[in-house]
Chain A
Amino acid sequence: MAALARLDLTDEEVELFTAQLQTVLDHAADVSSLDLSHLEPSSHPIALRNVLRADEPRPSLDREEVLAAAPSVEDHRFRVPRIGGEAP
């Protein structure tokens, strides 16, 4: 799970969190044991409809201001370590 979430937990954290989260899941047993097959799941409190707007150019955030918040920038772009192994 930690690898999926891109977290690196120490052995102590794994032990502590496992016990703590087990308590939460034990508490959730009251819910998982209910027969609710007759109910639809709700993902939202209100009926959401897709919201569309006209596809027209409009001002956006200033590129330099956005890039100023980035940890690493090169040539007006976000710089990241290599993705997908060696370049050909």
Chain B
Amino acid sequence: MTPPPTATAVTLAAGVRAGERSAREVVDAALATVDAGDGDYHAFLCLLADEARAEADAVDAAVAAGKDPGPLAGVPVALKDNLCTRGALTTCGSKILENWHPPYNATVVETLRRAGGIGLGKTNMDEFAMGSSTENSAFGATRNPRDITKVPGGSSGGSAAAVAAGFTPLGLGSDTGGSIRQPAALCGVVGMKPTYGRVSRYGLVAFASSLDQIGPFATTVEDAALLFDVLAGHDPLDSTSLPSVPEPTMPTVHDGVEGIRVGLCRDLVDGCAPDVVARVREAADALAGAGAKVEEVSVPEFGYGLSAYYLIAPAEASSNLARYDGVRYGLRVDVDGDDVAAMNTATRTAGFGAEVKRRIMLGTYALSAGYYDAYYAQAQRVRTLVMQAFDRAYASFDVLLGATAPTTAFDVGSKVDDPMAMYMNDVCTIPSNLSGHPAVSVPFGTGADGLPVGVQVLAPALQEAPMFRVARVVESLAPTSEVAS
């Protein structure tokens, strides 16, 4: 089916702030649209209907009292289910947290509300954000709103699908190896990973702490910049939060690309499907036509990123997920006899799905005595290698351009039994996670199958503003033949 047209967050918030429409109307309409349409997609695991209506009423009361409710006034936002919401289910797509109601809110959830945004519901995801198709959820897969026989990508597939389906103008996801950008590409929306430390991770359930970062989904680059500007900033509750005050990116998003140096990165294009390669090259030509200085560049070190990532991320995950022990929260499976280790093991065995178990095993192996140097330490040296390669490239270019994902959306079920084939989806997105740099995926035309193609714009640390400028031009010059419906 054709997803309904969505008003942008910028338009919606302006209308609510001006008193032209109430936040309550917007929220009631969004809840009704999800109720009517999400049976086909399963983007949401649960709706926060009562909370959303109460927040909307508070926004409307502020407008009535002549106060500014904030830049996201009345805008519904889809929240990935690894973001803690106080008193409301937060499952991470896992049976081990099936009934968990966190005692606190993630900082981004609080920030969103302070800006007038409305958390509409919690979205489906690969269990503990481990996956690239949202098929690893313990609560059933999410389908791609562009074609329900296809996956939406992952792990933030629920938030991507919610925005692509027109349920909410904005969504929040987390990106450890591409989990915002890859589903954005496959669903035909904008998805962005900020610089590591730019957005607080307090209350984000940890997967791989040196790689995880929260970021926005939107239907337009301007909306993504709006949400990023709201979220960015220092948080004393996150020890990896950057201390500096970020410059807003919204004021320059429409400034164009005149004179900006764009490196078309062959290593983020060449291995992709021919139709994806063609779109990325067209995007590069379009940027050149708009005044950017475009040149090809090779960064062969990116080729080692995937291997390094699939050692580092499972290693950190095996440590982070040790906390699911059946003691303080979540599932507990008691066993006969009075032995805490047996209880831990029975709980984890029953609570974790296959992909989570695989990654815990892989990480435990990579960190174990005798293999630590060969795998984990070596992967960390590759990380240094990739970071140095980025530095070299950015000596000559302001941004890099590549594909987001090697193919358009693939069939549901086609890769779920082949972990290595699934991991290959992340090959173009992983380098920015290893380096902690920002990157954004923008829809640019379609593949041979009529499904959306995402073009990725990568930038050095803290250079979100020029990155959004380039992304905005890519978006404005995208082929107008709309995505398949």
- Which A residues form the contact surface with B (CB < 8 A)? 1-2, 4-9, 13, 17, 20-21, 23-25, 27-28, 30-32, 34, 36, 39-46, 48, 51, 53, 61-62, 65-66, 68-72, 78, 80-83
Contacts and interface: CB of A to CB of B under 8 A. Distances in A.
Contacts of A27: 306-307, 310, 420
Contact of A46 (B240, B318, B325): B240
Interface string B343-367: 1111011001010011011101100
Contact of B327 (A7, A20, A62, A70): A70
Q: Which 9 A-B pairs have the closest CB atoms?
A: A45-B436, A41-B380, A71-B332, A36-B381, A69-B329, A31-B307, A28-B307, A8-B349, A42-B383
Given A32-B374, A69-B329, A71-B331, A45 B435 contact: yes
Interface residues of B, number: 73
B248 interface: no
Contact of B308 (A13, A31, A62, A72): A31
Contacts of B342: 81
A10 B307 CA distance: 27
A10 B439 CA distance: 41
Given A7-B349, A17-B358, A46-B197, A78 B327 contact: yes
Chain B binding surface SS class: helix
B4 interface: no
B331 to A, nearest CB: 7
A6 B365 contact: no
B236 A1 contact: no
Contacts of B420: 20, 23-24, 27
A56 to B, nearest CB: 13
A34 B364 contact: no
Nearest to A71: B332
Contacts of B185: none
Contacts of A36: 378, 381-382, 384-385
Nearest to B326: A71
B304 A30 contact: yes
B306 A7 contact: no
A20 B340 CA distance: 31
A18 to B, nearest CB: 9
Query: Which of A8, A9, A40, A44 has the most chain B CB within a 10 Å cutoff?
Result: A44
Contacts of A41: 377, 380-381, 383-384
A7 B345 contact: yes
A66 B434 CA distance: 34
B393 interface: no
Contacts, number: 162
Contacts of A8: 345-346, 349
A40 B212 CA distance: 22
Contact of A42 (B334, B380, B461): B380
B348 A7 contact: yes
Interface string B139-164: 00000000000000000000000000
Given A7-B348, A45-B434, A70 B328 contact: yes
Contacts of A48: 239-240
B370 to A, nearest CB: 12
B357 A81 contact: no
A53 B423 CA distance: 40
Contacts of A83: 340
Nearest to B423: A24
A71 B361 contact: no
B332 A34 contact: no
Given A9-B357, A78-B327, 16 more contacts: A4-B368, A27-B310, A28-B375, A30-B303, A36-B384, A41-B380, A41-B381, A42-B387, A45-B210, A62-B103, A66-B103, A69-B102, A69-B103, A70-B329, A81-B340, A82-B340
B468 interface: no
B217 interface: no
25 contacts: A8-B346, A9-B357, A13-B354, A17-B357, A21-B362, A24-B419, A28-B310, A31-B304, A31-B307, A31-B311, A31-B379, A32-B374, A32-B375, A32-B378, A34-B381, A34-B382, A36-B382, A45-B435, A46-B197, A46-B240, A46-B436, A61-B104, A71-B332, A78-B327, A83-B340
Contacts of B346: 8
B304 A34 contact: yes
A40 B197 CA distance: 22
A7 B356 CA distance: 11
Given A31-B379, A78-B327, A81-B339, A6 B358 contact: no
Query: Which of A4, A31, A65, A69 has the most chain B CB within a 10 Å cutoff?
Result: A31
